[in-house]
């Protein structure tokens, strides 16, 4: 019954496609397109051995879009928290790309990453698949094979996927558009959790949005520095669970 409910709800969003297109164009016209943060995309924090090596991989959030300097982004802030909580050295890299989808990361990013050893990987992907109206079947194929690719390249890494947040809480989205996208995000997340269970990855819980006024950047879509901090705190214990 639960599966049927989600399938019907997702199917009905196709009937709302004109509303999605109309409001989506309006949002794109009103919203400033932000660039990835300036600064380092990789660094190391000194500490005890053995070293933790952290890769944050995915879409524009992994690139810290929404803030000026990468030191305030999800990768740098998560690395700092992992260092503080363990006392261990943390080497980190952010590999994020504007507008990336699961298929983009699978086909054009993972094959071109250096074969460095990563003990921990955060995967931030799914938002663009949601807003691009990718079907659940396409997400199943592309996200599922992305997990395979990551597992093949880094079989011993702790791999954590951060699901799509509640789209109704995103300030930039009009109510009707947010409702349409939230229905699709729930379907994407549901399949994503299932795939993670099947393919040796861990699905985090959805990031709660407790203070939208502080948590979002000026575009009302990407995270602010405070938002990235909250995100890092949300993931830190889960990342370190096996340690």
Burial environment of residue 70 by CB neighbours within 10 A (0 to 12, 13 to 18, 19 or more): buried
CA 38 to chain centroid, in Å, comes to 19
The domain limits of the chain are 2-32+42-239
E-assigned strands of 6-131? 42-45, 48-58, 88-96, 120-124
pLDDT at 21: 53
* Sequence-ordered list of residues with C-beta below 8 angstroms from that of 185, at least 6 positions apart, any chain: 126, 127, 130, 164, 165, 166, 167
**Distance from C-alpha of 170 to C-alpha of 216, rounded to nearest angstrom:** 8
Question: Given this model, what pLDDT does residue 2 score?
Answer: 43
2-32+42-239 carries CATH number 3.50.50.60: no
Contact 95, 60 (CB under 8 A): no
SS3 content of the chain, % helix, strand, coil (to 5): 50, 15, 35
pLDDT in tens, the chain (243 residues): 444 345 656 655 554 455 545 444 445 556 567 889 999 999 999 999 999 999 999 999 999 999 999 999 999 999 999 999 999 999 999 999 999 999 999 999 999 999 899 999 999 999 999 999 899 999 999 999 999 999 999 999 999 999 999 999 999 888 888 988 999 999 999 999 999 999 999 999 999 988 988 999 999 999 999 999 999 999 999 999 976
């Amino acid at each position: 019954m639960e599966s049927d409910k989600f399938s019907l709800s997702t199917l009905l969003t196709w009937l709302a496609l004109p509303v999605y297109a109309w409001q989506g164009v309006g949002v794109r016209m009103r919203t400033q397109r932000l660039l990835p943060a300036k600064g380092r995309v990789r660094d190391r924090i000194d500490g005890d051995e053995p070293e933790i090596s952290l890769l944050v991989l995915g879409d524009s959030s992994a690139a810290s879009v929404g803030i000026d300097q990468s030191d305030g982004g999800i990768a740098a802030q998560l690395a700092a928290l992992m260092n503080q909580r363990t006392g261990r050295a943390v080497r980190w890299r952010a590999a994020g790309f504007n507008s990336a989808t699961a298929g983009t990361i699978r086909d054009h990013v993972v094959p071109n990453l250096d074969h460095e050893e990563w003990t921990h990987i955060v995967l931030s992907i799914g938002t663009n698949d949601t807003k691009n109206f990718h079907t659940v079947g396409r997400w199943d194929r592309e996200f599922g094979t992305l997990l395979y690719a990551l597992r093949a390249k880094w079989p011993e890494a702790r791999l954590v996927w951060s699901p799509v947040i509640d789209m109704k809480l995103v300030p930039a989205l009009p109510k009707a558009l947010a409702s349409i996208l939230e229905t699709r995000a729930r379907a994407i997340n549901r399949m994503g959790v299932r795939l993670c269970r099947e393919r040796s990855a861990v699905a985090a819980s959805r990031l709660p949005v407790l203070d939208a006024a502080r948590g979002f950047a000026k575009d009302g879509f990407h995270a602010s520095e405070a938002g990235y901090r909250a995100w890092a705190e949300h993931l830190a214990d889960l990342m370190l669970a096996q340690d």
